[in-house]
């Protein structure tokens, strides 16, 4: 049997990030497994994309989690507030979408704190959800984030919607093959991902719901 490279990479990646959650394991109740999955969106809010995502989620009665860039929140506060008002959860994705492995922990935490100050300024509830941009940080940065009270959420299903080599067909193949009970699925509400993600999202929701998944936001 040939080993699956996607699975091997995912397992290696998870071993490097002991502070992070990649999948939320669900308990069995009455000998039946209640299947749950979590849709997450990185890099918004973006006026060309995020409203269309929200419309699709509303159409299917789904709540999700948006890991937002603080700078975008400052640019589009009304859109940020719409996400909150419609019952979705929001996570810290740093203020400028920075690469943690190219900066000191002090500078990185300044980005985290500036994001907190931004959401406080716009009157939204605080959050303990954090996702590092690009999914990468040094271990000592992850420790500092955890000490500040955050839970780091990564993913176990990456759609690669930002890649020009991807297509809705390839993305759906990934979702069908790798989604399990408790999976965290990663999309991007960004210009780079725009049409690929928007074409795939309704298909993904229909597939998951038809296979008994309840789609919930991270808390």
Q: Among the options 43, 97, 188, 189, which is catalytic?
A: 188
User: CATH second-level architecture of 26-215?
Assistant: Alpha-Beta Barrel (3.20)
Annotated catalytic residue 42: yes
Q: Tokens 């929200």 correspond to what residue? A: 54
Q: pLDDT tens digit string along 102-153?
A: 999 999 999 999 999 999 999 877 799 999 999 999 999 999 999 999 999 9
What phi-psi label fits residue 20: left (phi over 0), alpha (psi between -120 and 50 degrees) or beta?
beta
Predicted confidence at residue 125, as pLDDT, reads: 73
Of 2-16, 157-171, 177-191, the one with minimum mean pLDDT is 2-16
Active site residue 93: no
Residue entry with tokens 């006026």: 47
Q: Are strands 36-42 and 65-68 parallel, antiparallel or unpaired?
A: parallel
pTM of the full structure: 0.91
pLDDT attached to residue 111: 97
Q: Is the pLDDT of residue 90 over 80?
A: yes
pLDDT at 5: 46
Options 42, 43, 156, 161, the catalytic residue: 42
pLDDT at 30: 41
Quick one: which H or E segment has residue 64?
Answer: none
**Model pLDDT for residues 27-84, shown as the tens digit of each residue:** 544 445 589 999 999 999 999 999 999 999 999 999 999 999 999 999 999 999 999 9
Q: Which residue has the higher pLDDT, 4 or 165?
A: 165
Q: Say how far residue 119 (Cα) sits from the centre of its chain.
A: 18
Whether the Cβ atoms of residue 184 and residue 25 lie closer than 8 Å to each other: no
Domain ranges of the chain: 26-215
The pairing of strands 28-29 and 32-33 is antiparallel
Strand partners, 37: 183, 215
User: Is a pLDDT exceeding 50 seen at residue 219?
Assistant: yes
């Amino acid at each position: 049997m040939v080993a699956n490279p996607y699975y091997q990479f995912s397992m290696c990646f998870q071993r490097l990030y002991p502070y992070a959650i990649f999948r939320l394991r669900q308990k069995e109740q009455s000998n039946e497994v209640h299947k749950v999955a979590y849709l997450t969106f990185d890099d918004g809010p973006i006026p060309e994309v995020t409203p269309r995502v929200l419309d699709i989620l509303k159409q299917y009665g789904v709540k999700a989690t948006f890991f937002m860039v603080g700078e975008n929140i400052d640019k589009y506060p009304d859109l940020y507030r719409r996400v909150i008002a419609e019952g979705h959860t929001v996570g810290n994705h740093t203020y400028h979408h920075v690469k943690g492995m190219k900066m000191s922990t002090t500078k990185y935490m300044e980005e985290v704190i500036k994001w907190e100050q931004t959401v406080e300024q716009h009157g939204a509830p605080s959050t303990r959800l954090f996702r590092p941009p690009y999914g990468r940080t040094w271990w000592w940065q992850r420790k500092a984030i955890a000490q500040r009270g955050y839970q780091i959420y990564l993913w176990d299903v990456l759609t690669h919607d930002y890649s020009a080599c991807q297509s809705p067909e390839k993305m759906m193949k990934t979702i069908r093959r790798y989604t399990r009970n408790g999976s965290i699925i990663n999309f991007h509400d960004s210009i780079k991902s725009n049409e690929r993600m928007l074409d795939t999202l309704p298909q993904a929701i229909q597939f998951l719901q038809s296979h008994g998944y309840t789609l919930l936001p991270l808390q």
